[in-house]
Structure formats: structure tokens, C-alpha cells
Structure 1
Amino acid sequence: MHFPYRFLASRCALLLLGWGLALPGAAWAASPGKTTYALIVANNASLDPKQAALRYADDDGARYYEFFAPQAQETVLLSVLDEETQGRHPGVASRARPPTRSALLEALRQLNTRMAADKAAGLTPVLYFIFTGHGQRGAAGEGSVNLLDGPFSRTDLYKHVIAPSTAGFLHLIVDACDSYFFVNSRGTLPVGPALGATVTQHLASRELERYPHVGVVLSTSKAQESHEWSAISSGVFSHQVRSALAGAADVNADGRVEYSELMAFIASASQGVEDVRGRLDIFARPPLLDRSAPLSDLAQKSGLGYLLIPEGVGGRMWVEDTRGVRLAEFHKERERALVLGLPVGRGYYLRIPGQEARFTLQRGREVVDAGALTWTALSVASRGALEDAFRDHLFGVAFGPRFYSGYVASAGMAPVPLYPGPDLSP
């Protein structure tokens, strides 16, 4: 595979200089006054004996942890990693706690204390609350997710996570069946007149509009299952979200991934999947306080390294590390450069259908130029009808300014500013 990098070096260097990445002494284009925290809950177990345990929720938890830990002031993982996951992610299990109610409430208490101190110091703390695991909708229409020792309901979410939060911005990311009903109150059963006013007041306290600093990204917008992909040991939605946050959804190359960019990226990634079991119907809403608040800001100073893929290069690509963990996947339009943020201290492969190129990231802020990589042959295997649907069609549609502009126009959303580049088509 040929990257026309020598003709694009100056433009890509300008992109990196804008981020403060190109030279060791360059000024960092960080977001001033912000602190970041992440609370990740990942649970394979099911509370319903008729419902099979998940296989990869713990893998998703470990991958979210490894992505946020280099960027955040504190990252908490509540999960019991199985033997295979512990082998793929050595050292993570020793930092994890069981996903129980008491552990969750204690983690929230500690994080709220730290974030309150940040606010007192004039900073804006940002909290990511991430859940991956089983969810269900009860008889009264209220959604819940499964902790190790019992359900955690929508009432619990608002009472313990949202209402008392001291975060300046709170991003909820939930990958679970019926996840819409874990956050939204649509579909409650009717009650008697005597209870009507009480129930109405109770439900009002559990509406997102009362909390304008909260944004949500949910794997389903209706009663729908979430799906796992065994070829990459991950949930499909979580894999797409992490790919987007790593920078694959950054359509205007400003180092930030806003909600509209993530939504358009996931729409493009799923558009080519014809098997209805593999289609995602996500629900996402940015914080009403600032609809442009980024879900990911790779321009902030962090311990991540960076892979630069220049303009003039397009097609389906993915990045795996030498452990076999797939960290990001995307279908890139040619007209934009793309920068991915990746954990350091390991080797990677940038792969396309039929070929791969090896590279390493040893230290934070290191930049690897994909135009200088050497490519070799790759063999890929998959199994099963749904596996084939994901392999052949997931990320089958190119994502970039053209797809993004059409998506936000059809959705009636405010777009991010786009910065047009030169026409690099043959």
C-alpha cells in the first residue's frame, strides 16, 4: 500500500503543530481548566437464570480502562475479569474492584469529593460513567442494569449518579440491552389517581432535561439487544464508541470528538450491515448546557501516543496491538488527515484488508507517521453468519466530511465547523 506522504507532509505537520504534537518543545493546545475522571462498570454476569452470561463485557471494561487511564486524573474499573481477559490485559485485574452496589457507591463518593475540590480550585471536572453488561426493562417500564449483587435501576442512576454529581459535565455511556429505558422514563405503567401526583413528581426528578450538564450515549433507543463480536472479543457498540473516541470520528481534525461526530460515525459504521441482528439503533444527546462539549479531547495533554494517517489515503482500516486486541476501526475518506490516540508501551499493527504494517508507541505524545510504515501480507479468518456480516459490512461505508454533512443535515443537528482541504482525488 502506498501513502503519498511526501506531498502532504507540510499539511499534516501543520495539523500536529496545531495540537502541539509535532515537536517535543511545541506548545500544547490543551483545554484549560479541565480535569477528567472515568468510572467504568463492566459485568458479564446475568441476574436472570434464563439469560446467558456475556463473554466480553469485561474485555470492554479493560479496554475502556486502558484508554482513559493515560488521560484521566483517576480511572476506576469495577469488573471481575475472566482468565482470558486477564491474560490479554495483564495488570488490569489488580486495579479492578468487583462491580457491586457498595463498590459503585463508594467510588462515586470518592470521585465526587475530588471533583468538588477541583471546582473549588476553579477547575471544570468532567466525569465519564460507563457501563457495559446486561440490562433489562421491568414490568413497570423502568430499565436497570445488572451489578454482581443485584440490579441498578433508573431510579438508582438518578439518585446516586446524576443528581449528586459534582462534575461540571457528566457523560453517560451505556452498552446494555434496553439501555434506553435505563436513562429515559418512556413506558411506565399507569397508576391510581391517589398516586398520580406523587409519581409525576418522582418521574420529573428522573428526566435528563433537569440536568443540562449531562450527556448520554446509549447502545439502543428502544427495546433491543446489544451484540458481541467474538472475532474481536468486544461488544459491537463499545468497539465503535472507543474507535470514535480514539479519534476516528474527528471529522474536522480539531482533536475533539463531539456528540454529532460520534453519532454520524456510528451511523456510517453500521449502515452497510444488512443482517438486522447486527444493526445498531443508538440514542445520544449532548449536554444541553453546551451541545458542543467534546466526548473526547485528544488535544489535551495526556500519556497517549498518536498514529497519523495523512490525507489522500482512504478505505477500511483497523488497529490491533500485538496482544491481538483491536483498539480502533474505521473507514476513512481520502480528503482528511486522521490522528488516533493510543496507549503507549506496546507494539501495534495498522491493518487493511489483505495487508498490515507494524509500528510501536513507546512514550506519551510520540507520533508515528503511517506514510513511513512497511506493509506485508495479512490473512484474516472469521466464522458464522453474523461474524461474516460484521467482517464484510461493518465499517463498510466511508466516514468523513461528506457523510457527516449529510447525516447532521438529515438529523437537524448543528454541525461542527469543517475545514476543507485540497482535492486529492486522482
Structure 2
Amino acid sequence: MTSPPTFRRSLWLRLLLLGLATAGPAWAGEPERVSYALIIANNASLNPKMAALRYADDDGARYYELFAPQTKEAVLLSVLDAETQSRHPGLAARTRPPTRAVLKESLARLNARMSEDRAAGRAPVLYFVFTGHGQRGAAGEGTVTLLDGLFSRTDLYKEVITPSPASFLHLIVDACDSYFFVNARGGLPVGPAQTAAVTQHLASRELDRYPNVGVVLSTSTAQESHEWSAISAGVFSHQVRSALAGAADVNADGRVEYSELTAFIAAASQGVEDVRGKLDIFARPPPQDRSATLSDLSRGGTALGYLLVPEGFGGRMWVEDTRGVRVAEFHKERERTLALALPAGRDFYLRTPGREARLTVPKAGAVVDAGGLTWNAQAVASRGPVEDAFREKLFGVPFGPRFYSGYVASLGEAPVAMDDGPDLSP
């Protein structure tokens, strides 16, 4: 019998407070889950009318650092530029170029490992992540750009989705026109009801033939909207990583589901009015289990520590490491407790507009309570109108149970289980 939500939530928070999160329980009736990540990040453009991107490789490196501590194997296909290599020393040696041949070889190896997992009674999960250029061809088929050519929607289904032995396959794509990379040709609806309209539009599309596949896509066609120099990253990918690190875990059960991620990004983007910063997303959980977990921070065996931001702390906050890499960002409702997963053995800064506090995550399973940190003044410089729009408005809306409940109700979706608050009694 699966543990009830209240028990899971209270136990997860107790484990955090005791610093025992990596010894988290396996819930009864659930097969052991093993995860893999294949990340493709390509700055280059094969279209002379499209300028090369600046930060797709940075996004790839950060996705790798997010997934590597919590997966059985993480693979990064990218060519890291000099700046990214200096920011992530040693990573280039573990990186291979994003060519069709290397992609095919990487998929074959991961599929073989996942087939072995299934034979052993485990449930393998694959994260397939792409960040880079995307476009639509004359026939309306979406493509993304590899170093040596285009990779089409037909290629995606033939080489990634159809042969995959994964119990669940999560597609995360940050590229122009990425909607058409996953879905067949057709007009993309716009306006407040976009998500509902897209879902209806997909009713007879080929994605529905694969009920174990979930997708999270940026749907913007404006290049300027998905790269931000202040964080040296794509805005959409930055939001996704923040959500998966725990910022979207609205019910504090240690897991992030699709509805939580979607609501989190909606809150984070809501205040941005400059059209150059507009960001639209499309997310659809696997129909096989619409409550499928995108990120499970309560599982044992990971090399993660935790930053606990307790009730009473509210407002816009972000975490940067000592390299200047912004690991996660959020705008927290004061009434909720937030647990953010961070790589162990590293130093970080928790920052708010004008203030910062340094913290160390000494080892896996360690919990750092933000309530005990020492805060100092921080100077912040402006970088221009679009920078100001992102700096002042992105993550400008508090995210928590109030926003989440209203957002999910507006979509007619089933929310995650909530209760009146965590039970931390002995």
C-alpha cells in the first residue's frame, strides 16, 4: 500500500530537519526507479540567417550538474566554449560533440542499460534534454540543430521515442519552435487558454501513441526571449532547473510533478511585460500517469544536500555558487517551507535583492537552515532595459499553495495532494 500524502510529506520534512534525506524511504509497492539523462546543448547554427547562441552550452553544463548527482548516468553532448570550460573545469573531458553519430551511439548505450534495468524489475526513467536552435521547415516539421545537420521530429520519434525501453521518458526542449519538434504541423493557439487549446489540438496526434512520454517545451519564436546575459543562461532552462531543484515543490513532499513545474514557470514569467522577454511553454505529463514525478529529491543514494528555507522567509531569492553560476531562483510565499537540493561539498550564496548570505553544504544529506545564516549587504548593477525587465519582473510573483491552487484550477487539472501544513511532531 502506498504511503498517504500527509505521511510522506511530514516524514520528508522530518528527514530534512534531521539531515537524513539521503536515507529516504522507498514507498511500498513502487519498483526501484533508476534515472538517466541525455543532454544535447548546441550553440551553433547551420542557417546563415541565424546567429549562434551564446549560452546553450552553459545550459547544457548546468543541466548536467543538476542531473549527474541523482542519475545512474548523465551524458552531455556539447562543445563548451572557453568561458564555459573555465566556469566548469574538467567538464569538457566528459563531454562529446553533438553529432548524429554520437547521439545514436549514446542512445544505444543508454537503451541497453535501461533494458537491463527492466529485466531486473527496476523502472528506468530517461530525461532527454535539448537546448539550442530550432526551426520549422517548409513542410512545417520541426527540427533542432546538431553540429553536422538537422534532427527532425521524424528523427525524434524514430530514434528516441519509439525504441526507448524507459518506463517514463521526459522530453525537455528549449529551442525556437520546439512545439513543432515534438508535435505535428498545425496552428499554435495563443492567448490565455493556450495550454488547454494545445492539449485539444494534440488529441489525435502521434504523441498520444506513447503514454509514457511527458514533454516540457518552450514555444517562443523570439531568440532574445530565451537568453539572458545576467545569468549566462536561457531563461526557460533556468526556470526548469530551478523548479526541478525543488523550488516548484508546492506541497513539500520532496517530489516535483508536471503541474507544479508548469505553475512555477507561470508564476515566474507572469510579471514580464516586455515582449522581448515573453516566454510561452507547453507541458504535458505522461498520460499513463499524470502525477508522474519529474524530480524526486526524497530518494536515497544521491550526492545532494539541502537548503531549507523555512516559513517566515518570503520574496525573491536565488542561489549562486562561488563560480558565479546561478543554480536556482524562486519567489517564495512566506507561509510555505521550501527545500532546495544542492550539490554536496560546495559553497553557495543565498541572495535577495540587496542582501546575501554565504552557506556551505558539507556532505550528502546535510541540511542547511536559511534561518541560521548571516546576511550582508550586496550591490547589484543594472545592465539595460531588457536586463531590467528580467531583473525586476522575472520571478516577480510569489509561488506557493495560493498561486498553485488558482493556476491549476484555471486549467481544470488535478492538483497535487495538499494538507493544512506539515506535521513535524515526534
Change (3 A) 1:67 1:77: same
Aligned residue for 1:323? 323
8 A contact 1:155–1:206 mirrored in 2: no
8 A contact 1:178–1:224 mirrored in 2: no
Q: What is the Cα deviation at residue 24 of structure 1? A: 4.6
Q: Does 1:142 align with 2:120?
A: no
Aligned residue for 1:335? 335
Return the alpha-carbon distance in structure 2 between the equivalents of residues 417 and 24 of structure 1. 24
Return the alpha-carbon distance in structure 2 between the equivalents of residues 205 and 129 of structure 1. 23
Aligned 1:332-411 pairs, distance under 5 A: 332-411=332-411
Aligned residue for 2:24? 28
Aligned residue for 1:3? none
Aligned residue for 1:9? none
Aligned residue for 1:79? 78
The structure that has the greater radius of gyration is: 1
Return the alpha-carbon distance in structure 1 between the equivalents of residues 407 and 185 of structure 2. 26
Paired letter, 1:217: V
Return the alpha-carbon distance in structure 2 between the equivalents of residues 43 and 21 of structure 1. 40
Partner of 1:241, secondary structure, is helix
Paired letter, 1:389: A
Return the alpha-carbon distance in structure 2 between the equivalents of residues 282 and 361 of structure 1. 33
8 A contact 1:15–1:253 mirrored in 2: no
Aligned residue for 1:307? 307
8 A contact 1:20–1:26 mirrored in 2: no
Return the alpha-carbon distance in structure 2 between the equivalents of residues 123 and 378 of structure 1. 48
Which ranges of structure 1 fall in alignment gaps of 5 or more residues?
A: 1-12, 189-202
Return the alpha-carbon distance in structure 1 between the equivalents of residues 65 and 23 of structure 2. 26
8 A contact 1:17–1:26 mirrored in 2: no
Change (3 A) 1:410 1:17: closer
Aligned residue for 2:190? none
Aligned residue for 2:161? 162
Return the alpha-carbon distance in structure 1 between the equivalents of residues 52 and 292 of structure 2. 35
Return the alpha-carbon distance in structure 2 between the equivalents of residues 244 and 46 of structure 1. 29
Aligned 1:253-264 pairs, distance under 5 A: 253-264=252-263
Percent identity between the aligned chains? 74
Return the alpha-carbon distance in structure 2 between the equivalents of residues 307 and 128 of structure 1. 24
Paired letter, 1:28: G
Aligned residue for 2:195? none
* Residue-by-residue CA offset, 1:298-324 (whole Å, 9 max, x unaligned): 011211110000012110000000000
Q: Does 1:43 align with 2:39?
A: no
Aligned residue for 2:193? none
* Residue-by-residue CA offset, 1:215-259 (whole Å, 9 max, x unaligned): 000011x65545100000000000000000000000000000000
8 A contact 1:174–1:217 mirrored in 2: yes
Q: What's the Cα RMSD here?
A: 2.0
Return the alpha-carbon distance in structure 1 between the equivalents of residues 21 and 239 of structure 2. 34
Q: What is the Cα deviation at residue 44 of structure 1? A: 0.3
Aligned residue for 1:124? 123
Paired letter, 2:227: E
Partner of 2:260, secondary structure, is helix
Q: What is the Cα deviation at residue 50 of structure 1? A: 1.4
Count of residues in Structure 1 that have an aligned counterpart in Structure 2:
395
Which ranges of structure 2 fall in alignment gaps of 5 or more residues?
A: 1-8, 188-201
Q: What is the Cα deviation at residue 206 of structure 1? A: 7.1
Partner of 1:234, secondary structure, is coil
Aligned residue for 1:66? 65
Change (3 A) 1:205 1:74: farther
Partner of 2:181, secondary structure, is helix
* Residue-by-residue CA offset, 1:331-363 (whole Å, 9 max, x unaligned): 000111000001122210000111000001121
The normalised TM-score by structure 2 is 0.89
